[in-house]
A = this chain, B = another copy of it.
Amino acid sequence: MNPATALRALGPEPWNVAYVEPSVRPDDGRYGENPNRMQMHYQFQVIIKPDPGNPQEIYLKSLEAVGIDPRQHDIRFVEDNWESPALGAWGLGWEVWLDGQEITQFTYFQQAGGILLDPVSVEITYGLERIAIALQRVASFRDIQWSPMLTDGDVNLQAEQEHSKYYFEIADIERLRQMFELFEAEAKACLDQKLVLPAHDYVLKCSHTFNVLDTRGAIGVTERAAYFGRMRDLWRRVAEAYVEQRQALEFPWLVEDSMLKVEGSPHVESSANQVSNLQLSNLQPATFLLEIGTEELPSGDLDAALEQLYLRVPALLGELRLEHGDVRILGTPRRLVVHVERLAPRQSDLEQVVKGPPADRAFDPGGIPTKAGEGFARSKGLAVSELQIREMDGGRYAVALVRQEGRPAPAVLTETLPGLIAGLRFDKSMRWNSTNVAFSRPIRWLVALFGEQVVPFEYAGLSSGDVTRGLRFHDSAEFTVSSPQDYFARLAAQGILLDVAERRQRIQSQVEALAGEVGGEVIADADLLAEVTNLVEAPTALRGSFDPSHLKLPREVLISVMKKHQRYFPVFSKTVSSEPASSDLLARDTGTQGTLLPYFIAVRNGDDYGLDRVVEGNEHVIRARFADAAFFISEDTKRPLQDFLPRLRTLTLQTRLGSMLDKSQRVRSLADDLAPLVGLSSEEKATALRAAELCKADLATQMVVEMTSLQGVMGRYYAINSGEAASVADAIYEHYLPRFAGDELPRVRPGLLVGLADRLDTLAGLFAVGMAPTGKKDPFAQRRAALGLVQNLIAWDLDFDLGNAIEMAARRLPVPASAESQGACLEFIVERLRNLLLEQGWRYDVVDAVLAEQGRNPAQASAAVRILASWVDRPDWYTILPAYARCVRITRDQTERYPVDPARFVEPAEGELFAVLQTAEAACKGNLGSPDVFLNALLPMIPAINRYFDDVLVMADDAATRENRLGLVQRIAALAHGVADMSRLEGF
């Protein structure tokens, strides 16, 4: 937020700046106990505006300049997008990892103060202590040699301890709130006078004050949003005033582009010259290569781009009438590669029949071309004599046979390739240079070869050519390739595996081997493996270890830290441990997973040169990460879990629904209400109610604030630590289950019950206040809540009326819940059930039929679907459904229900049907929605039904007779009530 960054990034003027400054982040305070996380660290801040074309290279040279030999380290650009709600700002970029340690933030600013940034600024923020730790190979910031006599710890430890204590324990909340108000008022007073910089200063003060309040634990969720809104509003005004000011000065720093050229920026040459030099004759089929060279693509974007190319390239070649052999789509974080074998040198010719005027208007009756006929021929470049007459579209027409000769492939590709690249879409894309094209990350080079010939085109300010770049830090960065074959050979020689599947396999086997060496194994995690595969070009796995004392930390914490923060593979013992792996707090059976071993496996980019150093760095990182977790847990366990409840008052899901404390109290009441439906023993119920009270408490703990994914896990851990019963702790953990697709489900009823109550409260509440999810937006994760609800009910095979349950939940809400909102809520949940069943592979018609009758009761509905589906598959189904369908169809428009009076029967078929009906009705009595019961009852009736319709005119003229007959059929149709709406089935 330094104005040299925040303000200068605005507007069109160039700006290049670098400065060291202390960066204060109160909530990073660790009392000096963490090796590399501090409330104050020194950062070296760089802004380059506009993009010089090679900012990554400039950055990497700067690391070399301070003594980091990139060959000895693993330096990586790992996706990290930056967004500041308080600044109305965002950008895309990376965190730069040095041996697993984040040492720099590298961002292309896209927007600030709500203003689109053009040109884009490159922001590079170095973490100096972390770089010093690596350079000096010390274990902690405290050990950095600050001067010949003193360490960083000597100089700054006291400050870390004291400021941490101040921020976490001492800062006076009321006074800080007052400060915020005063700073805000001064900022506004400055803005009213268009004093940009003083206003900016005060916004900074607001921001810092807010951060202190937040660290002190004084800011609830809604309050946070309100504070953000106030700061964003202030800063938007600052930003606008700054731009206005510069505009009024006529942007004095705007200069000729040529003055902005930064040394080493890529040379952009017009490709026009190259095009004219294209060798287009005597072409032979050849291999085509397109390489889109980029700065490191995020893992998801790499997948998305490869998928799109996979679909698009063959289609495009087809459209272009270019015959070809195999198409391979390859890619790494730094390149997207299209590889086409045996691409035809020319398009195949095209003959098109173009319809002209009707024959009788193109030629007069004497066959002489009319004006219209001549005009048409001319427009197609033909002599009128070349027109033909054809029967088409139900008439006779003059047609032109237009023959388009195939053009040379290079010429066609030259025109087409820019569109191919431009057509790639990403969830988030960014601009970087004056062309303002958007891509996932900047494109820095383009290789396009047809055999040995360059296919020239321009995109994003670049000209395609035959110059590619190798693995970072490996040999020379840029080199020329003579052909696609040469390209593949050269990249392979550098260890780059272009093929994603090959890379994945290589990693997998390396990881397994390294785990095996210490008697361990890794548990398959496809997501992690896929992500790691997308983070490297030339993978080399390495194994690091950590102090076994860290194993005292909760296992889930260790795993989360390794996987989520570091993309490491945790290593487990191969045998199932009969004892808890670490502390007795980890009593929960971890299923088939072995004990966690004090190792991790990371994957570096590059070969094994200097691998020891890389291992050492990664070990340093994980030590700091674990220390951080230990810090949080140690802080959190200073008080019993229950003591965190008051803090929930400051956490608000949605304003009108009150605080999280209110919510947990409602969940407790609702669990009490729902208990009979779930069938708990009195002991289980007591457990459930206590668990409900505490179920959200861990949201206020530091460990969960830091890693939300650990909610429930930490709740369980802290509950045990606080002396709660193990069953209560388990229920706290389980009430979140399932957390994601494929997650485990609650195993005990208290956990099940609390989870149901929690989800019902969330859903009923949000629908009541009109916050149903719309479109793709689902900020409160209501879809997942509904799905979890349904999954649990099915898994526990619970007879459970969702409608009633929603009504119970509604009664506990602090707001009125209209019948409409309750209905919409039910419908929303049933829709999730429908999706679930469809995903399980059930026929949509079967699902719809059942849900129409039984959607309110998911377990029963799920069972019914299974049964009904088996009926539908029966070979005689074609006789069953039609019989029943006749009964439904003839009656479904009747609005009235008619009684059946056997006395009025006329035909024997009537009495006969009535008799079997009574048997069937008896069989169906008390049916809880089972299609078996219904259909087994129906089956014997079928002959009688068929005869009835054969013999009896239901729609008799005599009203009484007719109604009696309809009444009989209505009772047959009614047999399926509560089971399925059979009319939804195919063939009905």
Residues of A within 8 A of B (CB): 3, 16, 147, 149-150, 154, 158-159, 162-163, 165-166, 169-172, 175, 178-179, 182, 185-186, 189-190, 193, 195-198, 245, 252-253, 255, 259
Given the contacts A154-B253, A175-B185, A198 and B166 also touching, CB distance less than 8 Å = yes
Q: Which residues of B contact A255 (CB under 8 A)?
A: 149
Q: Which residues of B contact A166 (CB under 8 A)?
A: 190, 193, 195, 198
Docked-complex contact A163 and B198, CB < 8 angstroms: yes
CA distance A186 to B252 in the complex (A): 44
Nearest 7 pairs of A and B residues by beta carbon: A166-B198, A162-B195, A162-B197, A159-B197, A175-B182, A166-B195, A179-B182
Docked-complex contact A186 and B171, CB < 8 angstroms: yes
Q: Which residues of B contact A245 (CB under 8 A)?
A: 158
Given the contacts A149-B253, A154-B252, A182-B178, A162 and B198 also touching, CB distance less than 8 Å = yes
A-B contacts besides A149-B255, A165-B195, A175-B185, 4 pairs, CB < 8 Å: A162-B198, A166-B193, A169-B193, A170-B193
Given the contacts A170-B195, A186-B172, A259 and B149 also touching, CB distance less than 8 Å = yes
- What are 25 A-B contacts with C-beta separation under 8 Å? A16-B147, A149-B253, A150-B253, A154-B252, A158-B196, A158-B197, A158-B245, A162-B195, A162-B196, A162-B198, A163-B195, A165-B195, A166-B190, A166-B193, A166-B195, A169-B193, A170-B189, A170-B193, A170-B195, A171-B186, A172-B186, A172-B189, A175-B182, A178-B182, A179-B179
CA distance A864 to B169 in the complex (A): 79
Docked-complex contact A186 and B196, CB < 8 angstroms: no
A3, A16, A185, A197 — most chain B CB neighbours (10 Å): A197
A976 CB → nearest B CB, Å? 73
CA distance A193 to B186 in the complex (A): 31
Copies of this protein in the assembly total: 2
A542 CB → nearest B CB, Å? 39
Docked-complex contact B179 and A193, CB < 8 angstroms: no
Q: Which residues of B contact A190 (CB under 8 A)?
A: 162, 166, 170
CA distance A172 to B192 in the complex (A): 13
CA distance A166 to B186 in the complex (A): 10
CA distance A149 to B255 in the complex (A): 10
A169, A195, A245 — most chain B CB neighbours (10 Å): A195
CA distance A255 to B170 in the complex (A): 35
A462 CB → nearest B CB, Å? 27
A1 CB → nearest B CB, Å? 15
Q: Which residues of B contact A175 (CB under 8 A)?
A: 182, 185-186
Docked-complex contact B165 and A193, CB < 8 angstroms: yes
Q: Which residues of B contact A253 (CB under 8 A)?
A: 149-150, 154
- Main SS at interface, chain A: helix
A336 CB → nearest B CB, Å? 37
CA distance A780 to B189 in the complex (A): 40
Q: Which residues of B contact A147 (CB under 8 A)?
A: 16
A210 CB → nearest B CB, Å? 15
Q: Which residues of B contact A165 (CB under 8 A)?
A: 193, 195
A22 CB → nearest B CB, Å? 11
A866 CB → nearest B CB, Å? 66
Q: Which residues of B contact A169 (CB under 8 A)?
A: 193
Closest to A192 in B: B170
Closest to A19 in B: B20
Closest to A182 in B: B175
Q: Which residues of B contact A259 (CB under 8 A)?
A: 149
Docked-complex contact B170 and A198, CB < 8 angstroms: yes
CA distance A154 to B249 in the complex (A): 11
Q: Which residues of B contact A163 (CB under 8 A)?
A: 195, 197-198
CA distance A170 to B202 in the complex (A): 13
CA distance A909 to B186 in the complex (A): 96
CA distance A197 to B164 in the complex (A): 11
Closest to A16 in B: B147
CA distance A3 to B159 in the complex (A): 10
CA distance A182 to B195 in the complex (A): 25
CA distance A399 to B686 in the complex (A): 114
CA distance A252 to B155 in the complex (A): 11
Closest to A202 in B: B166
CA distance A733 to B405 in the complex (A): 103
A15 CB → nearest B CB, Å? 9
A154, A182, A259 — most chain B CB neighbours (10 Å): A182
CA distance A182 to B182 in the complex (A): 10
CA distance A3 to B163 in the complex (A): 14
CA distance A154 to B259 in the complex (A): 17
CA distance A171 to B199 in the complex (A): 11
CA distance A252 to B163 in the complex (A): 21
Q: Which residues of B contact A198 (CB under 8 A)?
A: 162-163, 166, 170
A38 CB → nearest B CB, Å? 13
CA distance A169 to B172 in the complex (A): 31
A493 CB → nearest B CB, Å? 42
Q: Which residues of B contact A162 (CB under 8 A)?
A: 190, 195-198
Closest to A242 in B: B158
A254 CB → nearest B CB, Å? 11
Q: Which residues of B contact A171 (CB under 8 A)?
A: 186
Q: Which residues of B contact A159 (CB under 8 A)?
A: 3, 197
CA distance A197 to B255 in the complex (A): 46
CA distance A407 to B189 in the complex (A): 82
A182 CB → nearest B CB, Å? 5
CA distance A170 to B162 in the complex (A): 35
A23 CB → nearest B CB, Å? 15
A183 CB → nearest B CB, Å? 8
CA distance A186 to B169 in the complex (A): 12
CA distance A255 to B147 in the complex (A): 15
A174 CB → nearest B CB, Å? 9
Q: Which residues of B contact A16 (CB under 8 A)?
A: 147
Q: Which residues of B contact A189 (CB under 8 A)?
A: 170, 172
A166, A169, A252 — most chain B CB neighbours (10 Å): A166
Q: Which residues of B contact A158 (CB under 8 A)?
A: 196-197, 245
A843 CB → nearest B CB, Å? 68
CA distance A159 to B190 in the complex (A): 13
CA distance A163 to B196 in the complex (A): 9
Closest to A246 in B: B158
CA distance A172 to B149 in the complex (A): 47
Q: Which residues of B contact A154 (CB under 8 A)?
A: 252-253
Closest to A196 in B: B162
CA distance A159 to B158 in the complex (A): 34
Contact residue among B3, B172, B185, B252 (Cβ-Cβ distance under 8 Å from A172): B185
A301 CB → nearest B CB, Å? 36
Q: Which residues of B contact A197 (CB under 8 A)?
A: 158-159, 162-163
A755 CB → nearest B CB, Å? 43
CA distance A16 to B149 in the complex (A): 10
CA distance A158 to B245 in the complex (A): 10
Closest to A156 in B: B197
Q: Which residues of B contact A193 (CB under 8 A)?
A: 165-166, 169-170
A163, A170, A196, A245 — most chain B CB neighbours (10 Å): A170
CA distance A721 to B178 in the complex (A): 45
CA distance A198 to B185 in the complex (A): 24
Q: Which residues of B contact A172 (CB under 8 A)?
A: 185-186, 189
Q: Which residues of B contact A186 (CB under 8 A)?
A: 171-172, 175
A506 CB → nearest B CB, Å? 48
A400 CB → nearest B CB, Å? 63
Q: Which residues of B contact A178 (CB under 8 A)?
A: 178, 182
Closest to A195 in B: B162
A505 CB → nearest B CB, Å? 52
A890 CB → nearest B CB, Å? 83
A8 CB → nearest B CB, Å? 9
Q: Which residues of B contact A195 (CB under 8 A)?
A: 162-163, 165-166, 170
CA distance A945 to B528 in the complex (A): 131
CA distance A154 to B14 in the complex (A): 13
Closest to A175 in B: B182
CA distance A193 to B167 in the complex (A): 13
Q: Which residues of B contact A182 (CB under 8 A)?
A: 175, 178-179, 182
CA distance A196 to B186 in the complex (A): 28
A970 CB → nearest B CB, Å? 79
